[in-house]
Amino acid sequence: MQATPANASGLRVDEKLERMKLFGLSSPALLLVLVILVIPVGWLFYVSFLGGNGQFSLENYQRMVERSSYMRIFRTTFEVSLVTTGLCILIGYPLAYFLSQIPPRIANLCMITVLLPFWTSLLVRTYAWLVLLQKQGLINEWAMALGLWDEPIKMVHNMTGTLIGMVHIMLPFLILPVYGSMKAVDRDYVKAAANLGASPRRAFWDVFFPLTMPGLFAGTLMVFILCLGFFVTPAVLGGGKVIMVSMKIVSNIELFVSWGAASALGVVLLALTFAILWVASRFLKLDQIAGGGH
């Protein structure tokens, strides 16, 4: 055998160059996100630590803890998000189950009812609910015509309207991943459970449901995260009675031009979002391991 040719360094350079060239293809996208997202958000982070006099201060955060109005906003945000997510699960899971059980041809047709709202502008859908739920709206009109109630009920510009609108807008985000994980469940599992003596109900809860947990978890996470930062629907359907964090941020800027307060709220919202994602990422892995064990 001959001695190794002394080309190791050349080859190493070639390899690095090729990798960097390929990786470089993503640089326009990375740069875009850096400049348009990271720098502005980083700046907000910085501003949130500036006091009224332009010096470093925690006053923006202190205010958040001290003033009960801020605490109320955070509580409202969490309440709305939790209730919306819960309703989405209660409504979305059965529908996804229905879609996964019927013949694929019909399922594809039914899927349009999920996809159409998914792709329709959120503003259009919010507007539609505004029209339907208002005092002279269709629902009040019909309900009174049917004799369900005598006086028009106030269903919009309050919590009810906000929740109805948000559940409607978030549902596809839950249904799609759950449906995906249901389609991925091998039907033989349920057959095996039945063969081993499980009743259909037991087979569903012992076998099918646990196997769809990853999809349900992903959908739930998605809905909850989106709810936390939601703006348009509560702003329009809440009528100023349901104030969520993102709305307070906007009003801080639009009405009070108070960048410090808005930024601090934004930083807390972002931190909450990432904290939830971080915690969830641990569970999601655990969950997948558990799912693989079945």
Of 153 and 226, the one with the shorter C-beta distance to another protein is 226
Of 71 and 277, the one with the shorter C-beta distance to another protein is 277
Q: How far is the CB of 260 from another protein (least distance, A)?
A: 12
Identity at 263, one-letter amino acid code: S
**262 touches another protein by CB under 8 A:** yes
**28 touches another protein by CB under 8 A:** yes
Of 5 and 147, the one with the shorter C-beta distance to another protein is 5
Q: How far apart are CA 194 and CA 210, in angstroms?
A: 16
Which region holds residue 151: left if phi is over 0, alpha if psi is between -120 and 50, else beta?
Answer: beta
| 130-149 residues near another protein, rule: CB under 8 A | 130-132, 134, 136, 138
**161 touches another protein by CB under 8 A:** no
Of 9 and 55, the one with the shorter C-beta distance to another protein is 9
Of 66 and 106, the one with the shorter C-beta distance to another protein is 106
| 68-127 residues near another protein, rule: CB under 8 A | 91, 94-95, 97-99, 101, 110, 113-117, 119-127
Identity at 161, one-letter amino acid code: G
Burial status of residue 175 (CB atoms within 10 A of its CB: 0-12, 13-18, 19 or more): buried
| 200-229 residues near another protein, rule: CB under 8 A | 200, 203, 225, 228-229
**163 touches another protein by CB under 8 A:** no
**255 touches another protein by CB under 8 A:** no
Of 66 and 191, the one with the shorter C-beta distance to another protein is 191
Q: How far apart are CA 194 and CA 50, in angstroms?
A: 64
Q: Which of 153, 232, 280, 284 binds another protein (CB under 8 A)?
A: 232
Q: How far apart are CA 185 and CA 127, in angstroms?
A: 38
Of 32 and 286, the one with the shorter C-beta distance to another protein is 32
Q: Which of 59, 41, 77 is nearest to 258 (CA)?
A: 59
Q: How far apart are CA 34 and CA 15, in angstroms?
A: 27
**241 touches another protein by CB under 8 A:** no
Of 103 and 292, the one with the shorter C-beta distance to another protein is 103
For tokens 């693989």, the residue is 292
Q: Is the dihedral of CA 258, 263, 266, 268 positive or negative?
A: negative
Q: How far is the CB of 196 from another protein (least distance, A)?
A: 12
Look up residue 228 and give its two tokens. Answer: 């936390």
Q: How far apart are CA 60 and CA 263, in angstroms?
A: 9
Q: How far is the CB of 13 from another protein (least distance, A)?
A: 9
Q: How far is the CB of 262 from another protein (least distance, A)?
A: 6
Q: Are 234 and 163 in contact (CB under 8 A)?
A: no
Q: How far is the CB of 134 from another protein (least distance, A)?
A: 7
**29 touches another protein by CB under 8 A:** yes
Q: How far is the CB of 165 from another protein (least distance, A)?
A: 9
Q: What is the SS3 assignment for 64-86?
A: HHHCHHHHHHHHHHHHHHHHHHH
Q: How far apart are CA 186 and CA 193, in angstroms?
A: 12
